[in-house]
Amino acid sequence: MKPLFEKMKHLLNQFLRIYYTKKLLKLNKKKVFNENEMTFKNHQLEQKKERLISKTESKELSEAEVQTKRQEIEIRIEKELTEAKQNIITKSADIENKIIKMKAKRDNLQNALISKIENDLLALKEKNTHLEKVISEAKKTNKDLNQADELIQEKEEELKNNLRKINIIESRKNTEENTDIHLSLSHLTMKFGGLKAVDDLSFDVKKGEIFGLIGPNGAGKTTVFNCITQFYKPNGGDIYYNDSNNETNSLLDFKVHDIINLGIVRTFQNVELVWELSVLDNLLVGAHSLYSAGFFSQLLHLPKIRYEEKVLKTRALEVLKKLDILAYKDALPYGLPYGVLKKIEFARTLMTKPNLIILDEPAAGLNDAETKELAQLIKSLRDEFNLTIFLVEHDMGLVMEVCDTICAISFGKKIAIGSPSEIQKHPKVQEAYLGGE
């Protein structure tokens, strides 16, 4: 009876922990929204200033009068701006308080989980030493009996599995301690029936780097992607992620539509925009997780949703301007050049101010000139928005040019990891691409 009870308690704890974590992430989103609010207020008041000044200019006053009026206006705007700022600051302080409370609640549960993990770890280690003993004894005593051989094999298999489990747990600790790791895959395994699409794959992505995942066709790159974004739930292994507050989460705890709240956004191989909506509205779709207005607020168009709409529209325009595609803002994406579509998708990912962007074959369907431009764009985006970029690509030119670290995989297994030049020289990579001798 007792173990069942323990299990139930553990499950409940797990559920609550994830629930609180999700709430925390929502609050973080509100913080992002507040930042957007700031730029919106600046923008709005600037416009107001211009309007007022142009009004005074049209009134045919003497120059001195215009000057004084202008000063008056500037003072007024300045005042309004500070007021707005104060407002936003109090709001964000409020959110901060809520975050602290929520965190306290969550951390209790988190600690329980961690202590359980530690216990598991100890138990596993004990089991392993025991197993090793059994194996060595079996080897000593019955050397030539087939039965013993089978036993040894079985035990060794178990030992291996246990070691893998220990590794997974330890890599969690490792990610927690090393805050410069952004994403850590640990013994990731994904099976489709009998086929192992991803087989025991582990690597770390560091903060601020451009990480490339390469491999021949059918190597399982896209499967890795889909495992990270939780479109597939992996059969084994774990994926850990350090968010902007240096909190470590296992991505397996989340659903696909929660992943964006952690600050991970992805693009798609063949641009997946909403073809019936204008470019601006497409960006607003990307900002969907920033809206907090409820259904009735939307139904009745209450002030809250109107305000959020305005704030996020200014953000969208800002992003479009940065990517140099402001001219297309009211156009429907259907029929626009492919390079522009890719840029729109980029812009959509930037709406939520993410930390990690996952690009699925960004150069697919682009010509050479466009690919070069894309490489520039990726680099400049990384520098400007302080991003980490993780990409899968076929175009070797692009990968070698932009990536800081490259991981090469073949048939779901890691064959090499390192800087572009190292990968180019690596004999195993050459073999995977060009075939053995």
**Shorter beta-carbon distance to other proteins: residue 73 or 260:** 260
Binds other proteins (CB under 8 A): choice among 265, 320, 377, 387:
265
Q: According to the binding rule CB under 8 A, does residue 275 interact with other proteins?
A: yes
Q: In angstroms, what is the minimal distance from the CB of 97 to other proteins?
A: 25
Q: According to the binding rule CB under 8 A, does residue 12 interact with other proteins?
A: no
Q: According to the binding rule CB under 8 A, does residue 274 interact with other proteins?
A: yes
How many Å apart are CA 297 and CA 277, to the nearest integer? 22
Q: Tell the residue number behind the tokens 């209790």, with chain if given.
A: 108
How many Å apart are CA 135 and CA 144, to the nearest integer? 14
Helix and strand numbers (H, E) in the chain are 12, 10
Q: According to the binding rule CB under 8 A, does residue 1 interact with other proteins?
A: no
Q: In angstroms, what is the minimal distance from the CB of 255 to other proteins?
A: 8
Q: According to the binding rule CB under 8 A, does residue 281 interact with other proteins?
A: yes
Here the tokens at position 196 are: 């192992």
End-to-end CA distance of the chain: 62
Among 244, 333, 356, smallest CA distance to 283 is for 333
If you ran DSSP here, which 8-state letter would residue 362 be given?
A: T
Instruction: Mark residues 303-342: x for contact with other proteins by CB under 8 A, - for none.
Output: --x---x---------------------------------
Q: According to the binding rule CB under 8 A, does residue 252 interact with other proteins?
A: no
Q: Enumerate the β-bridge partners of residue 181.
A: 206
Binds other proteins (CB under 8 A): choice among 27, 107, 235, 291:
291
Give me the torsion for CA of 24, 30, 35, 38, rounded to 10°.
-150
Q: In angstroms, what is the minimal distance from the CB of 265 to other proteins?
A: 7
Q: According to the binding rule CB under 8 A, does residue 183 interact with other proteins?
A: no
Among 360, 362, 325, smallest CA distance to 344 is for 325
Q: According to the binding rule CB under 8 A, does residue 28 interact with other proteins?
A: no
Counting every residue written for the chain, the total comes to 437
Query: For the purposes of burial, counting CB atoms within 10 Å of the CB of 69, is it exposed (0-12), middle (13-18) or buried (19 or more)?
Result: middle
**Shorter beta-carbon distance to other proteins: residue 387 or 400:** 387
Binds other proteins (CB under 8 A): choice among 184, 186, 242, 289:
289
For residues 306 and 293, the answer to whether their CB atoms sit within 8 Å is no
Q: In angstroms, what is the minimal distance from the CB of 290 to other proteins?
A: 9
Among 179, 177, 172, smallest CA distance to 121 is for 172
Binds other proteins (CB under 8 A): choice among 276, 324, 384, 431:
276
Q: Which residues bind other proteins (CB under 8 A)?
A: 229, 231, 255-261, 265-266, 268, 272-277, 281, 284-286, 288-289, 291, 293, 295, 298-301, 305, 309, 348, 352
